[in-house]
Structure 1
Amino acid sequence: MAHILVIGASQGIGLATVKAAAAAGHRVRAFARSANAIAVSEPGVERCPGNALNARDIEAALAGVDVVVQALGVPFRDLLAPVRLFSDATNLLVPAMEKAGVRRLIAVTGFGAGDSRDAISPLQRLPFRLVFGRAYDDKDAQEMRIRRSPLDWTLVRPGVLTGGTATGRYRVLDTPSSWRNGLIARADVAQFIVRQIAGADQVGKAVVLISHALPI
């Protein structure tokens, strides 16, 4: 079993990953500014308050861990302003991981980040750009920094996120020709992430995750 640091653990995919990893028997360090308020009952979860933009917090959180899951998000209300969270946090995290000797990084970005932007359908491109453009420009910079690192990284690009429990029925699209948008439950993304903790088949790759339903 691994010791996992989840950055952005208070909600969304981060929180789902904390629960899924703990349920699988891993030790989990749940890192977020509001970590003390995280509602988890699974054993083996350590709440770790900290700021992803504070180098000392990140360095302390990396002590003794084997794997880092970066699952940051910004509130919808902040999408219309300049976004720097993803790249700034990654610019701190990568060298801190190198210094600490932690090699495995699983980073959640999203469908439309990096070279998957070309796979957005023509009908979706304008609204995607208007709403998510600033955030995804920053996710592009995040992915570029990770790709330039010597870490054993995997970039996870989920489609449109939904709630609900894990179905186990999702598609891992690992070639550009297969990339397309679709729905996927956060719990299924977390399930995929937990499977990557011990697996090496997606190291150095970017994958798009969608459910088995028809793409959108």
Structure 2
Amino acid sequence: MARVLIVGASKGIGFETMIQALAAGHEVRAFARSAPRIKPAPGLEIVRGNALKRDDVAAAVQGMDVVIQALGIGLADMIGPVRLFSESTKHLIAAMETHRVRRLISVTGFGAGESRSSINLIQYGPFVLVFGRAYDDKSRQERLIKESGLDWTIARPGVLTNGHRTREYRVLVEKKQWRNGLVSREDVADFLVGQIGDRSLIGKAPVLVY
């Protein structure tokens, strides 16, 4: 069992990951600006903090074995410049280096980094129009992670749904396999929790879809 920090634990993939990590017996530190909305549970430490504040992140990382980064933004936040993903990652990497925490599991998305070239022509225009700024920053985030020297795994889920955990998702590691598709937040969380004790995908950035 591991001591796991989940960055962005109050909602979405981060919240589902928190639930599943606790169920798996891990000790979890849930870190988010809206952390007070999280209900207390055995094995859970709730920490309110801002991923864009260096001192908050450094304090959250201390004493952990594994960090799962699962930040997200709403559509309204994509209208202007987006820097959340890359700026928070800079603070996170620095904190992990300071506290000698090696294992980083991070969520970006299909369309980040080199996976953008796998978006088909029909989807490409709408994707760039709606999600372009956010995914440009996710690409910067991925680059920082890959250059960090940490033991990293990046998860690139397709279109997220509110479906239940099925464990029937595909983990597409090879570029020739990459494609868009649906996947539930609960199944993404299942993958992330599985990576806590699995080192086979270190240095890999698979796409997750059904």
Shorter-chain-normalised TM-score: which range?
A: over 0.9
Distance in 1 between residues matched to 2:132 and 2:95, nearest whole Å? 28
Summarize deviations over 1:105-133 as a string: whole Å, max 9, x none.
00100000000000001100000000000
Q: TM-score of the superposition, structure 2-length normalised?
A: 0.98
Q: Is the 8 A contact 1:19 1:42 kept in 2?
A: no
Work out whether 1:6 is the aligned partner of 2:6: yes
Q: Is the 8 A contact 1:4 1:65 kept in 2?
A: yes
- Aligned partner of 1:16: which letter? E
Aligned residues: 210
Runs of 4+ with deviation above 3 angstroms: none
Uncovered stretches (5+) of structure 2, i.e. residues with no partner: none
- Alpha-carbon shift at residue 15 of structure 1 (Å): 0.3
Which residue is equivalent to 2:152? 153
Which residue is equivalent to 2:64? 65
Distance in 2 between residues matched to 1:78 and 1:201, nearest whole Å? 35
Which residue is equivalent to 1:198? 197
Which residue is equivalent to 2:86? 87
Percent identical: 57
Which residue is equivalent to 1:175? 174
Distance in 1 between residues matched to 2:208 and 2:191, nearest whole Å? 9
Q: TM-score of the superposition, structure 1-length normalised?
A: 0.96
Uncovered stretches (5+) of structure 1, i.e. residues with no partner: 212-216
Q: Is the 8 A contact 1:17 1:194 kept in 2?
A: yes
Distance in 2 between residues matched to 1:77 and 1:188, nearest whole Å? 26
Q: Is the 8 A contact 1:23 1:42 kept in 2?
A: no
Q: Is the 8 A contact 1:165 1:187 kept in 2?
A: yes
- Alpha-carbon shift at residue 43 of structure 1 (Å): 2.1
Which residue is equivalent to 1:21? 21
Q: What is the DSSP-based 3-state SS (H/G/I as helix, E as strand, rest coil) of the residue aligned with 1:205? A: coil
Q: What is the DSSP-based 3-state SS (H/G/I as helix, E as strand, rest coil) of the residue aligned with 1:206? A: coil
Distance in 1 between residues matched to 2:80 and 2:15, nearest whole Å? 25
Which residue is equivalent to 2:129? 130
Distance in 2 between residues matched to 1:34 and 1:74, nearest whole Å? 13
- Alpha-carbon shift at residue 164 of structure 1 (Å): 2.5
* Two-structure CA RMSD over aligned residues (Å): 0.8
- Aligned partner of 1:198: which letter? G
Which residue is equivalent to 1:32? 32
- Aligned partner of 1:135: which letter? A
